[in-house]
């Protein structure tokens, strides 16, 4: 984290030195670093094999490590993981350090007009849910805004043409604010590549755990402990059982581990994690969308966001750039003190505005859908707009099946 007393003034040895405190320096959107590999590359085989089988083969995970940490037998761990998956309580997912891959990560906030009929908001909700190019997002129920969603896209004009403009043209929409992500610090309680804290640490306060087990009977202490162990392995590669992966795939287990460790642990442009489905637990995400005063230097904004993110009650933390807003924080409404968290933010004189909203629904875990009520759980479509020009009307919406439908987008 930035060190006290430094000003990072231009024309001094301290200039921009604050960026060295992060694994990937916060320097732009979609900057494409050399050395990354595609999601279907052989060096990601361990994850891809596990992702293909874990739904019915929980033993793809490192059950021996979980048994050592929890005291449970391997059979009980398998049974618990199988039950939690069958009940859609967790999902094995992979996050990218999107900018390193050459994508801008463009989140956007939508506010509906006062008096918007519920059926019109539902139409937009359905459009977002079924649009495969919107890689993640949240619907809010009451508060200062109504949607917080995101796209990974290389071409900003394509985002504006295919996503933002159609929403802005909706007569019931008051505004759409773009929130380009400068740093992704934490998602679903797991520290991401841009964290100043321990990479891949699963952060869940003791008080939140206590409230969770009082609030729901869908998950108990041992269930959460299993997920904690798997999300908190010392190395990413420790997550899997490579003997099982070799048996299932016919690939060399030792080679899979070596490659996976290089990609995940040494390079950190990918991260594997077990996503906890808060919706199935009956939880709501309380969102804090903050804006700092215009004259606050970028390093100070990052410093404040880091200080706030030190609180494990925040399960999602994103920092923005070139936006009306500077960051968003989320905390589970039922497990935390919302007013206390707001007061912590208000104690910073640099923070000018805090907008709040409550989200009971997440659309996707990145590209993997979460709507199991429509039998689309874990359906995953990864899109890349690099070779497309959405400004040409025939390409305005690459997902539409026919000309008539395309023209209506």
Q: Which two tokens stand for residue 10?
A: 């231009």
The span from the CA of 108 to the CA of 126, in Å, is 17
Q: In the structure, how many helices (H) and strands (E) does the chain have?
A: 13, 13
CA distances from 46 to 118, 135, 188, 262, 266 (A): 45, 23, 22, 12, 16
According to DSSP, the β-strands at 270-276 and 147-153 are: unpaired
- Give SS3 for 338: helix
- Give CA 53 to chain center in angstroms: 23
CA distances from 122 to 114, 133, 141, 369 (A): 15, 19, 11, 18
pLDDT digits (tens, 9 = 90+) for 81-97: 999 999 999 999 999 99
pLDDT at 4: 60
Cβ-based burial of 278 (10 A; exposed 0-12, middle 13-18, buried ≥19): buried
pTM, two decimals, is: 0.92
Stretches in the chain below the pLDDT threshold 70: 1-4, 386-387, 390, 393-409
pLDDT at 406: 45
The span from the CA of 164 to the CA of 166, in Å, is 6
pLDDT at 169: 95
pLDDT at 28: 74
Cβ atoms 110, 179 nearer than 8 A: no
Q: How many of the other CB atoms lie within 10 Å of CB of 329?
A: 27
pLDDT at 387: 63
Dihedral (C-alpha) 312, 318, 321, 324: value to the nearest 10 degrees?
-90
Q: Which residues have a Cβ under 8 Å from the Cβ of 41 and sit 6 or more positions away?
A: none
Q: Which residues have a Cβ under 8 Å from the Cβ of 130 and sit 6 or more positions away?
A: none
Q: Which two tokens stand for residue 137?
A: 């997002």
pLDDT digits (tens, 9 = 90+) for 63-73: 999 999 999 99
């Amino acid at each position: 984290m930035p060190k006290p007393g430094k000003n990072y003034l231009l024309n001094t040895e301290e200039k921009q030195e604050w960026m060295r405190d992060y694994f990937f320096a916060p320097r732009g959107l979609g900057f494409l670093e050399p050395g990354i590999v595609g999601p279907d590359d052989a060096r990601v085989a361990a994850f891809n094999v596990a992702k293909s089988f874990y739904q019915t083969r929980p033993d793809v995970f490192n059950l021996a490590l979980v048994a050592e940490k929890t005291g449970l037998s391997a059979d009980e761990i398998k049974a618990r993981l199988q039950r939690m998956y069958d009940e859609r309580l967790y999902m094995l997912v992979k996050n990218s350090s999107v900018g390193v891959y050459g994508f801008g990560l463009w989140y956007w906030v939508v506010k509906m007009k006062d008096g918007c009929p519920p059926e019109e908001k539902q139409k937009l909700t359905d459009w977002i849910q079924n649009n495969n190019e919107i890689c993640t997002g949240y619907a809010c129920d009451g508060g200062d805004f109504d949607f917080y969603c995101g796209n990974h896209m290389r071409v900003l004009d394509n985002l504006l043409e295919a996503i933002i403009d159609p929403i802005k043209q909706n007569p019931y929409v008051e505004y759409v604010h773009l929130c380009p992500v400068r740093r992704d610090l934490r998602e679903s309680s797991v520290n991401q590549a841009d964290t100043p804290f321990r990479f891949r640490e699963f952060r869940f306060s003791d008080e939140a755990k206590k409230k969770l087990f009082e609030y729901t009977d869908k998950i108990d202490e041992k269930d959460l402990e299993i997920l904690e162990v798997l999300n908190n392995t010392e190395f990413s590669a420790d997550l899997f059982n490579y003997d099982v992966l070799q048996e299932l795939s016919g690939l060399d287990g030792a080679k899979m581990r070596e490659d996976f460790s290089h990609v995940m642990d040494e390079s950190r442009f990918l991260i594997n994690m077990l996503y906890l489905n808060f919706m199935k637990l009956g939880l709501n995400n309380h969102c804090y969308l903050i804006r700092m005063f215009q004259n606050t230097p970028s390093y100070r904004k990052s410093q404040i966001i880091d200080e706030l993110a030190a609180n494990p009650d925040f399960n999602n933390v994103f920092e923005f750039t070139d936006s009306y807003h500077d960051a968003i924080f989320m905390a589970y409404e039922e497990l935390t003190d919302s007013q206390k968290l707001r007061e912590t933010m208000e104690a910073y004189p640099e923070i000018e505005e805090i907008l709040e909203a409550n989200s009971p629904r997440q659309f996707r875990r990145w590209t993997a859908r979460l709507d199991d009520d429509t039998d689309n759980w874990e359906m995953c479509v990864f899109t890349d707009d690099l070779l497309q020009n959405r400004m040409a009307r025939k390409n305005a919406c690459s997902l539409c099946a026919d000309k008539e439908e395309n023209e209506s987008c």
